[in-house]
Structure 1
């Protein structure tokens, strides 16, 4: 079967979406327009084209709603823990381990990765910035080093695999027509390869800037003294200074807003960054720090006990869940198939929310408070991920498995597969080398991430992975994971300054443009290495 007008219209829509993405504009309107025109040309009926705009988003929502529920439940759990300050207690013990610059660098990376893996990075960054960054600066780690460690470990390594919540692998897998667990497994390996390589290169870059532990390090940082490497003035004219970004974040921190994260996939607004820790003394010279905050009232003994309890119970529960998932993969326990892993994460988070709120607020008040936390979680989930639905709907229109629902193909009649047809027609121009195809998918993913949105490009990279994989003899899950690496590492908050990297720059008080520039070499080197691993061993 030859290519029809619908194929060319669909291809034009893909090209326009990529172009708008590179121009750093929102792709929602182009996706809606492309869906309407493509469906109209496919059926010859403009009314069907109008209906397809709605049906495409509806189909995407039905396929991805489990992702929304997971985000909502985990966000609700984090809100419940914050109410009793249990989230702070999960982090504060690591302050004692920071004896020098190198130990501070390792601790920041490990703690950021661990927390971000379970709660996503952007909600974790203000917490880490308020509690661990001052201790790391005092230990001798330069502020730029702290920012790079947080960005690479959290916004990059944890978010690109998203192995616990599996939002990113879910988006990639649905578009590629494969299992979420398969994409998640490959993405975990690739994210670790990329992250470890990036952290190692970053460590080499920082070796000349480490300082001896001293209180003066913290005083200089709080006073705004910029340590090496200094920002490039020409580049800073194009972006706000980090201090300008941090100030409104500190002002907004008092507002009661749903806990959230700009994962890039959503177009949600980054949550307010926690204020940097204040000096507790005059630095030994008898001076009083400016704007010394009033001391907070001490928590009552009951709150302290509950905070300590759940600061241990929640991480242990998630770790046991991870152990169960691993045992299932090796055959010790029944394996989690399909959406079972997602259901386990969401169900565990929901149960923990009930226990945390009931213990803290009491059974009567908990009925109301639990509902408030879950509502806040759902609001954030749709704010963060809602914009993905129309984009995913357009790419689902090119997939035969979903096109029938979108344009109303009668039961028993085969729906067109626009994307697969296009790839088949161009097969003679596509290199049969898996290495070339892997790097092609990586570059497309990175271009999608230039918008500053780490997840919105996953329907495209997933769809291309599903279409290209059979032609080069690769597993679609591997190609989808490679595209996921490119999109999330770029737009999720590491390589572009107009992403949630702003939050990292704000809490560490470094120029965001300079931070993105410093992360470029380590991260790109890591992505090249992980892509070579994917093409060679998967």
Structure 2
């Protein structure tokens, strides 16, 4: 029988404090660092060793997330190079011409955001898709608020919660759930992601349809086109970029590349496109400096996104056996693992109760406004629960990933939709008001689906 000690209660108390702080819309990096110090001090009894434990935990977390940080940096660098050449404008023009009415514009804008977000992530995708396609969508009859909703639901919701190509989210979830290959999370998440996405988008489209009927006069004045240089070089890059990524997808399928191999292919392709774009745009003389600049900017963007995730992950990695042993020593068990065993040995846990508890915790973690910050705990809890109840670990982790990112990735948290609100010139709170009912419908449908298929 597992017995809990002071260190377990302190660890659990810090987790409760972190979730509570998230509910008050505050960052949780400082509480995680304090938690690391407290756990380290109780474990070692030494201030010096507890300080060293803080560093070792962050180092362990950094090593776990390094691959993800690098791929995001490289993809962002490619995005900046495309934008500087104007190739992004050329790639978007055919889609802009298809938006003939508000409803069609909603889905074209949304699916374009989904595809680009899969390959370059929502944050950089918002910048050039929003600036290039939103004016055309508004001109076709789509109100600004619904253009923002389309970018948000398809980018921060559908794309980020799946992350099938860059595989940042499933990699984090898999690592903390002690699953060797993120493809297991991807496969398990697909039916849950489909239900969540379909119910949310359809619900949102129905509400939008009612709103559009109430609008009598749509401003269809000419929107000033964004002028960028269009020459053979920019057209060439605009053509070969999607071709390269289509070839990547085909190669992944044919050679069954997955996990790190698939990520390596995407990352290498992004680097090649960035270099080609720089050579076309600036010629060899100036390309040396520009490539360095793009890499630096991409790395700064990636670290800005993942720096807090690394610290938060450092604390939650203490919850699982493998990472806790790497941080504290080989004689240590993961604290959440012990707590989960303690609870399971004294209570009757069922599949339904585990799914419901896991879903509630996932939603609470998302309230912090950063879906990725909650993934380390989601993965760790999935490992704990699956060890005590007959339930698939990958599916449970995938359920938590989908819910956490839909909530916290930027759909129903006002401060996480600010970039999209700024692009579309709308109030972030208004975006949340439009999103909250469809997203809640989607979460309920996803939980019910999980109960039947897990």
Please give the alpha-carbon distance, in whole angstroms, between the structure 2 residues aligned to 1:448 and 1:430. 24
Tell whether the 8 Å contact from 1:101 to 1:213 is kept in structure 2 after alignment: no
Q: Report the more deviating stretch, 358-367 or 172-181.
A: 358-367
- In the other structure, the counterpart of 2:343 is 426
| Residue 134 to residue 347, structure 1, CA distance change in 2 (3 Å) | same
Q: In the alignment, does 2:300 pair up with 1:379?
A: yes
Q: How does 1:163-312 map to 2 (within 5 A)?
A: 163-178=164-179, 179-210=181-212, 216-219=218-221, 278-279=223-224, 299=229, 304-312=231-239
Change (3 A) 1:463 1:85: same
2:261 corresponds in structure 1 to: 340
**How many residue pairs end up in the alignment?**
452
Contact 2:158 2:193 (C-alpha < 8 Å) held by counterparts = yes
Per-residue CA distance 1:243-278 (angstroms, 9 max, x = gap): xxxxxxxxxxxxxxxxxxxxxxxxxxxxxxxxxx95
Aligned with 1:98: secondary structure? coil
Q: 2:326 aligns with which of 391, 396, 405?
A: 405
Moved more, 341-350 or 10-19: 341-350
1:23, distance to aligned residue in structure 2 (A)? 1.3
Q: Which residue of 1 aligns with 2:358?
A: 441
Q: Check 1:456–1:90 CA distance in 2 against 1; reply closer, same or farther (3 A cut).
A: same
3-state SS of paired residue (1:522): helix
After superposition, what is the alpha-carbon deviation per residue over 1:182-232, rounded to whole angstroms, capped at 9, x for unaligned? 11233344333212211111111122333699995245xxxxxxxxxxxxx
Larger Rg: 1
- Of 321, 328, 333 in structure 2, the residue corresponding to residue 416 of structure 1 is 333
Work out whether residues 56 and 406 of structure 1, in 8 Å CA contact, stay in contact via their aligned partners in 2. Answer: yes
TM-aligned CA deviation for residue 405 of structure 1: 2.4
Structure 2: gaps spanning 5 or more residues? none
Q: Distance in 1 between matches of 2:350 and 2:250?
A: 37
Q: 1:391 aligned to 2:318?
A: no
1:391 deviation in Å? Answer: 0.9
Does 76-85 or 176-185 show the bigger shift?
176-185
Q: Does structure 1 conserve the Cα–Cα contact (< 8 Å) formed by 2:382 and 2:393?
A: yes
| Deviation of the 1:398 alpha carbon | 2.2
The structure-2 alpha-carbon separation of the partners of 1:517 and 1:431, relative to structure 1 and needing over 3 Å to count, comes to farther
Comparing 512-521 with 363-372, greater Cα deviation is found at: 363-372
1:511 equivalent in structure 2: 427
Q: Give distance in 2, aligned partners of 1:189 and 1:119.
A: 23
Counterpart Cα distance in 1 of 2:106 and 2:259:
38
Q: What are structure 1's unaligned runs of at least 5 residues?
A: 220-276, 281-294, 328-332
Q: Distance between the aligned counterparts of 2:348 and 2:159, measured in 1? A: 32
Alignment correspondent of 1:452:
369
Per-residue deviation, 1:342: 2.0
Contact 1:448–1:487 (CA under 8 A) maintained in structure 2: yes
Return the alpha-carbon distance in structure 1 between the equivalents of residues 141 and 215 of structure 2: 5
1:448-491 Cα shifts (integer Å, max 9, x gaps): 11111121111111111111112222222211111111221112
Moved more, 96-105 or 50-59: 96-105
| Structure 1 residues 210 and 77: CA distance shift in structure 2, 3 A | same
RMSD of Structure 2 on Structure 1 (CA): 2.2
User: Once the 2 structures are TM-superposed, how far is the Cα of residue 64 of structure 1 from its aligned partner?
Assistant: 0.9
Partner of 1:489: 406
Q: Is the 8 A contact 1:158 1:191 kept in 2?
A: no
Q: Which residue of 2 aligns with 1:139?
A: 140
- Cα distance in 2 for partners of 1:428, 1:351 equals 54
2:272 alignment counterpart = 351
Task: Check the 8 A contact 2:113/2:125 in 1, yes or no.
Answer: yes
In structure 1, the residue corresponding to 2:341 is in which secondary structure? helix
Tell me the residue number matched to 1:65: 66
Instruction: String of CA shifts for 1:424-466, please: whole Å, max 9, x gaps.
Output: 1011566533233223222212211111112111111111111
Rounded to whole Å, the distance in 2 between the matches of 1:510 and 1:360 is 35
Contact 1:137/1:143 (8 A) holds in 2: yes
Indicate the residue corresponding to 2:442 in structure 1: 526
d(CA) in 1 for partners of 2:391 and 2:299?
Answer: 37
Contact 1:142-1:209 at 8 Å conserved across structures: no
2:243 to 309, 316, 327: 316
Give the Å deviation of 1:522. Answer: 0.6
Q: Distance in 1 between matches of 2:296 and 2:131?
A: 27
